[in-house]
Amino acid sequence: MTENAWTRWPSREALGREGIPRPRRLLAWAVRLLVLGVLLWSAFHDSRVHGWGTVAGVGGVLLAGALVWAFLRMTLEHRLWPSLTLMVLLLGLTATAHVRGFESPAIVLWCGCAIAALERLPLAAALPLASVGLASFAAVNGDGWLTTATTTGGLALAGYALRLDAEARGNAQRLLAQERAARAAEAESAALAERARITREIHDVLAHSLSAQLVHLEAARLLIEQDADRDKILERVVAARGMARDGLDETRQALSALRGELTPLEDFLTELVRTVDSAEVTVGGERRALPAEASQAVRRVAQEALTNARKHAPGAKVHLKLEYGPQEVTLDVRDSGGSPGELAEVGSGYGLLGMRERAELLGGSLEAGPDEEGFVVTLKVPV
Picking from 244, 300, 232, the residue whose alpha carbon sits closest to that of residue 272 is 300
> Over 50: is that where the pLDDT of 47 sits?
no
pLDDT (0 to 100) of residue 340 = 56
Instruction: For 183-223, write each residue's pLDDT tens digit.
Output: 888 888 877 776 776 676 666 667 667 777 787 788 888 88
Identify which has the larger pLDDT, 246 or 269: 269
- Mean pLDDT of the 280-293 span: 85
Give me Rg for the CA atoms of the chain: 41
Q: How far apart are CA 206 and CA 293, in angstroms?
A: 18
Instruction: For 58-117, write each residue's pLDDT tens digit.
Output: 777 788 888 888 998 998 888 989 999 999 999 998 888 888 777 777 888 888 888 889
Instruction: Please report which confidence band the pLDDT of residue 262 belongs to, taking 50, 70 and 90 as the band edges.
Output: low
pTM: 0.49
> Over 50: is that where the pLDDT of 350 sits?
no
Percentage of the chain lying above the pLDDT 70 cut? 81
Q: How far is CA 140 from CA 41, 136, 149, in A?
A: 19, 6, 13
pLDDT (0 to 100) of residue 208 = 65
pLDDT (0 to 100) of residue 54 = 64
Identify which has the larger pLDDT, 32 or 153: 153
pLDDT (0 to 100) of residue 329 = 93
- Across the chain, mean pLDDT equals 79
**4-8, 37-41, 321-325, 354-358 — most confident range:** 321-325
Instruction: Please report which confidence band the pLDDT of residue 322 belongs to, taking 50, 70 and 90 as the band edges.
Output: very high
Q: How far apart are CA 20 and CA 335, in angstroms?
A: 71
Percentage of the chain lying above the pLDDT 90 cut? 10
Identify which has the larger pLDDT, 3 or 286: 286
pLDDT (0 to 100) of residue 271 = 82
Instruction: Please report which confidence band the pLDDT of residue 381 belongs to, taking 50, 70 and 90 as the band edges.
Output: very high
pLDDT (0 to 100) of residue 224 = 86
Please give the order of strands across the beta sheet that includes 375-382: 279-284, 318-324, 328-335, 375-382, 365-370
Lowest mean pLDDT, pick from 16-30, 115-129, 144-158, 263-277: 16-30
> Over 90: is that where the pLDDT of 46 sits?
no
> Over 80: is that where the pLDDT of 353 sits?
no
Locate the domains of the chain by residue range: 12-141, 263-383
Q: Which CATH number fits domain 263-383: 3.20.20.70, 3.30.1950.10, 3.40.50.300, 3.30.565.10?
A: 3.30.565.10
Instruction: For 105-162, write each residue's pLDDT tens digit.
Output: 788 888 888 888 988 899 899 999 999 988 988 888 877 788 888 888 988 898 888 8
Picking from 196, 207, 193, the residue whose alpha carbon sits closest to that of residue 350 is 207
pLDDT (0 to 100) of residue 205 = 67
pLDDT (0 to 100) of residue 299 = 85
State the Cα angle at 353 between 264 and 315, rounded to 5°. 65
